[in-house]
Amino acid sequence: MPIYEDMPSPISRLYDQVRHDDKKLKIQVSSGQYPVLGLASRNQAFVVPVELGDRHFHVEYQVSNACDEAQPGCQSCERRGISCPGYTRNRKFYYFSASSQNEPSATSSQTRSSNTALVTAQAVAQHTIPPTSMDNALMPGLVSKALDRQCRRAFCDFVDAVFPNIYYSYSTRVELNWFEIAHKDQSAGNALQWAIRSLGTLQLARVNGNQGQILASQEMYGHALCQLVKAIENPATVGNNETLGAAVLLGVYESINATEQNSWLLHSSGISHLLRLRGAKRHVSGYGRTLILSFRGLLVYEAFARGEACFLENEEWRSALPLTIEDEERRGTNCALGQLMDYAFNEIAQCPGFLARTKALVASSSTTDVERNNLMDAINTSQELLGEVEIKIMAGVKADHEGNKKESEAFFGLIPASAKAASVNYTLEGVQSAIALLRQLSVLLVSDRSRQKTITPWLILGPCKNNQKIIKDSCELAQLSQEGSQLHPIGPRQQGNPKIWHDRIAMTMGMPDSS
């Protein structure tokens, strides 16, 4: 029997059945007589003549290859030198849930070894799949990536909606802007990623008017805070760019959607500590340069609100400007307006300190002429530098209006056309406001020699206390100062125009509106 061992299993079973009946079964067949057996493919029929005692009959059988279910090209078909016709597997229905792994299964041993539960079609039809939410409960990897991508796009929309002018005034001059930061791959669960998600979700909520999305953004804000605390407590990550970036974004979040009174001041104070810990040189270029440009106006504004000097007036930070200009010139991204804005900021950063020291000298009965004269000299020097910046800005604007293309390109550089007017107007507003403050302080110090009390809106500003009046719009600053109210702005909440408030504070480099 040359092909007995290769016979399909049903024929073997038939032989066994007859043998067990103690009857002699003689199959007179060979591969030469019936080549179809050697080349049998699935669903091919053949007839086998059988002798059983004195009876002769034929058995017709449907032959199926012993296909090893390795379509295409199973080993059984390859041994026979034929092309594998494949096989048809009965359709199986699976239902998988988190709880199905723990439930007992009545399936076969092969299915039982897998992590899924096999159920019949009838069971599936009777079973109702429970509803799922868009969180990490179902397909956490897929949901997280989809949500993360959507929030990153919404974060870019947030920048366009809240900080368009300040962002586009420096986005082309820095090595890494916020749009690029938002689309960088971040490690799952870190503070910066959650901060971007919270602001992106907040932007979606503001656009859609969806209170549920606001609550979701606050929950993400809470996750970001927890991650930020861990990063700050870890000496290896406390000075990272991502840690400072998360703190900056959370400070912006609080100034937009305050979770409690004066909370943005707490973030601003923490950001100040992180900046001083990192040092000025880490913010000359690259990621650090973007971070300090994004928040330096609010740092000056915070100093005014607290009635104290801003740390950015220190020589360490002032002396970093030439290095920044050198870096921009090396990369070919420098422009006259950008440099003038940086020079103006160096002087404006001294204004909170000038105001605090002037108030202290006027209030003291033991002030010496030397102390007074030294302060007056510093104020006058800063005022003169700001005056020069104002003149150069006006000259650049004049050249642009006259159509002098070469001078206009040198003045604006890579700043987009959409941000040119705002960059000029807000910078001039900050410069002129600072000059007005310094003039009043200078006049007051001169008159203080004879102890003549000159009342100005700037000197009515009281020290920072816990029970300060909340400022809901930037236009209230001048009114409150004239009324003698204590100035302690936390920024707009639901009232006012947050786009105007934040962009103006950032572009004027932290100078409150004293008009």
At 55 the pLDDT is 63
Q: At what angle do helices 351-363 and 417-448 cross, to 10 degrees?
A: 20
Torsion of CA 131, 137, 143, 144, to 10 degrees: 150
**Neighbouring residues of 77: CB distance < 8 A, sequence distance ≥ 6:** 65, 67, 83, 84, 85
What three-state secondary structure class fits 484? coil
Distance from C-alpha of 130 to C-alpha of 149, rounded to nearest angstrom:
27
Count of residues in the chain: 515
Burial pattern 130-147, b for ≥16 Cβ within 10 A else e, equals: eeeeeeeeeeeeebeeeb
DSSP code for 280: G
Q: What are phi and psi of 171, to 5 degrees?
A: -60, -30
CA distance 197 to 151: 5
**Rg for the chain, CA atoms, rounded:** 39
Other CB atoms within a 10 A radius of the CB of residue 368 amount to: 10
3-state secondary structure of 124: helix
Please return the burial class of 89, using the count of CB atoms within 10 Å of its CB with bins 0-12, 13-18 and 19+.
exposed
State the amino acid at position 186 in one-letter form: Q
Give strand pairing partners of 27.
50
Coil, helix or strand at residue 299:
helix
Note the pTM of the prediction, 2 decimals.
Answer: 0.65
What's at 134, amino acid-wise?
A: M
Token duo for residue 302: 């915070």
Q: How far apart are CA 444 and CA 453, in angstroms?
A: 8
Quote the CA–CA distance of 309 and 229 in Å, as a whole number.
Answer: 27
For residue 118, the SS3 value is: strand
DSSP class of 513: -
Q: What's the farthest any 2 CA atoms get from each other in the chain?
A: 145
Rounded Cα distance between 268 and 259, Å, is 15
In the block, tokens 């530098």 appear at 385
- Answer whether 245's CB lies under 8 Å from 228's CB: no
CB 303 within 8 A of CB 352: yes
In sequence order, what are the residues at sequence separation of 6 or more whose Cβ sits closer than 8 angstroms to the Cβ of residue 307? 352, 355, 356, 359, 461, 462, 463, 464
Smallest Cα–Cα separation from 83: which of 99, 72, 97? 72
Q: 């934040």: which residue's tokens?
A: 502
Helix residue ranges per DSSP H, 171-240: 178-182, 191-208, 211-233
The predicted pLDDT at position 183 comes to 84
Of 497, 352, 379, nearest to 438 (Cα)? 379
Q: Is 42 exposed, middle or buried (0-12, 13-18, 19+ CB in 10 A)?
A: middle
Name the strand (E) or helix (H) holding 454: none
Judged on CB neighbours under 10 Å (0-12, 13-18, 19+), 496 is: middle
Among the listed residues 337, 343, 339, 344, the one whose alpha carbon sits nearest the alpha carbon of residue 396: 337
Angle (CA) 57 58 62, round 5°: 150
- Per residue of the chain (515 residues), give pLDDT as tens: 444 344 444 434 433 443 444 443 333 333 333 333 333 344 455 555 655 556 665 555 555 545 555 555 666 666 666 667 665 555 555 555 555 444 444 444 444 444 444 444 444 444 444 444 444 454 455 556 767 788 888 999 999 888 888 899 999 899 999 999 988 866 555 899 999 999 999 999 988 888 888 899 999 999 999 999 999 999 999 999 999 999 999 999 988 877 667 778 888 999 999 999 999 999 999 999 999 999 999 999 999 989 999 999 999 999 999 999 999 999 999 899 999 999 999 999 999 999 999 999 888 878 788 888 899 999 999 999 999 999 999 999 998 888 888 888 889 988 998 889 989 999 999 999 999 999 999 998 888 766 644 445 555 555 444 333 433 333 443 343 333 333 233 333 333 344 557 788 888 998 886 54
pLDDT for the residue numbered 468:
37
Cβ 119 vs Cβ 127: under 8 Å? yes
Which residue carries 């749009």 as its tokens? Answer: 179
Report the C-alpha gap between 313 and 345 in whole angstroms: 9
Q: DSSP secondary-structure letter at 478? A: H
Query: What is the distance of C-alpha 466 from the center of its chain?
Result: 32
C-alpha dihedral sign at 413, 416, 422, 427:
negative
SS3 494: coil
